[in-house]
Structure 1
């Protein structure tokens, strides 16, 4: 029954995905489904390929010289690597939040307005004001910055900057949000706010998060994928992965034998 529910809300599918950097193979035959109703966490030791695979989902690897992606990745049944795919539009539909907060060197308002302006999502200033306010509210930042919208986004604290980057991703109304270790540069209080935010956003967007923090994966995700040496070792319900893994390598990683 659970699998049937996941099929109903399926957002992205990856089948037999391989990633090469020149001659070196970084990802080997990974197949995975991402659905809208669950937060999916990618875990595994450093250098295991989880961030590399995450970046295949919105073609961020296109920007890396010598990188080649083989296999099939679809968003709502559409091949995202097809020759006719508009990559700018794809990245609006599949937004990304990076490890280090990277607000534009512009005002808080302009950080949010930038994407909607490029994609023509606001007819006038009043519509743009609404998008900016709604995005900041969804990111749990509005009350902290509503009187400072013309100040630079780079003047905010690290945790606020990361929520600003999440608000910026939300502003273009994406379908999927990819997060690459979004809390690794933040203190515990800011991390708790981001985790709370991810929980609130669940169900509105398909969310995939790469984390090196297993406790974080256990707290905020419903599905977990364990990567090791470029392979997907195990993928399933988070509770199952952490309490009853099928694979010995997963068990060894969860119990701290390596990684």
Structure 2
């Protein structure tokens, strides 16, 4: 965000995630420039912008996934409920349980459907016994809109499911550890239109239960699933606001040019 943009992503109210003057670097290359944004729990937030604009890089900084990239570093402040997630005492494993991630390509573990969902609750000690674990698995698969399709085949491999089912399994796996935030990095880009529609319905159903942020190249999808939209360009946050305003009455010429297809 350049000086002219000001605190374009800062909104009044209580934010689930707040970032202030965040910069992300890969070695000497700066990918994110001075981004400040507030994300609340009540609305689905979409990050849009052309390829290479930094939206996925910024998303991954919100649960420290960039820690796994050699040479990556994050400057500035990222707060989850007011707590700095880059503080030296932060437990990154617990952070990623609180801030789950669903990736572009479905990535179920090479385990049974049941064990895919049960994995997180097991390692975090969230179930006191088999009956409670069974309930978590059923509840998570139900919330992910998958229970009725797989309840009689829980012992089968998660990798045997269709692409759309695998993505919903990954969402079930994410919510099984009772997260507060779900990050989705282009979760439908590898899916057919029917599977995409199911994921979009699921996002609508999960709204308000979790703070949800979705990165998408599909502007129609952003318009369908989100209530707030952030437009990124060349590593800068250009505009952030109500989705309806961004798509019908953007304040910035760069946003208007992207929305109307003049570049991107």
TM-score under structure 2 length normalisation: 0.96
Q: How far apart are the structure 2 equivalents of 1:67 and 1:155?
A: 35
Superposed CA offset, 1:204-255 (max 9, x none): 0000000000000000000000000000000000000000000000000000
Tell me what 1:250 maps to: 255
Q: How far apart are the structure 2 equivalents of 1:200 and 1:221?
A: 12
Q: How far apart are the structure 1 equivalents of 2:28 and 2:139?
A: 46
Q: How far apart are the structure 2 equivalents of 1:54 and 1:224?
A: 13
Determine if the alignment matches structure 1 residue 197 to structure 2 residue 202.
Answer: yes
2:32 equivalent among 27, 51, 56: 27
Moved over 6 A (4+): none
Tell me what 2:19 maps to: 14
Q: How far apart are the structure 2 equivalents of 1:141 and 1:188?
A: 17
Q: How far apart are the structure 2 equivalents of 1:31 and 1:161?
A: 34
Tell me what 2:8 maps to: none
Q: How far apart are the structure 2 equivalents of 1:79 and 1:42?
A: 22
Q: How far apart are the structure 1 equivalents of 2:159 and 2:210?
A: 26
Tell me what 2:232 maps to: 227
Q: Is the 8 A contact 1:177 1:205 kept in 2?
A: yes
Query: Which structure 1 residue ranges, 5 or more long, are not aligned?
Result: none
Superposed CA offset, 1:32-80 (max 9, x none): 0010000000000000000000000000000000001000000000000
Q: How far apart are the structure 2 equivalents of 1:68 and 1:124?
A: 40
Q: How far apart are the structure 1 equivalents of 2:162 and 2:195?
A: 9
Q: How far apart are the structure 2 equivalents of 1:156 and 1:175?
A: 27
- RMSD of aligned Cα (Å): 1.1
Determine if the alignment matches structure 1 residue 86 to structure 2 residue 91.
Answer: yes
Q: Per-residue deviation at 1:131?
A: 0.1
Q: Per-residue deviation at 1:6?
A: 6.0
Tell me what 2:6 maps to: none
Number of residue pairs the alignment of both structures matches: 255
Q: Secondary structure at the match of 1:7?
A: coil
Q: How far apart are the structure 2 equivalents of 1:249 and 1:78?
A: 33
TM-score under structure 1 length normalisation: 0.97
Q: Secondary structure at the match of 1:216?
A: helix
Equivalences for residues 1-259 of structure 1 within 5 A: 7-8=13-14, 10-259=15-264
Q: How far apart are the structure 2 equivalents of 1:245 and 1:31?
A: 19
Q: How far apart are the structure 1 equivalents of 2:36 and 2:60?
A: 15
Q: Is the 8 A contact 1:12 1:73 kept in 2?
A: yes
Q: Per-residue deviation at 1:7?
A: 1.2
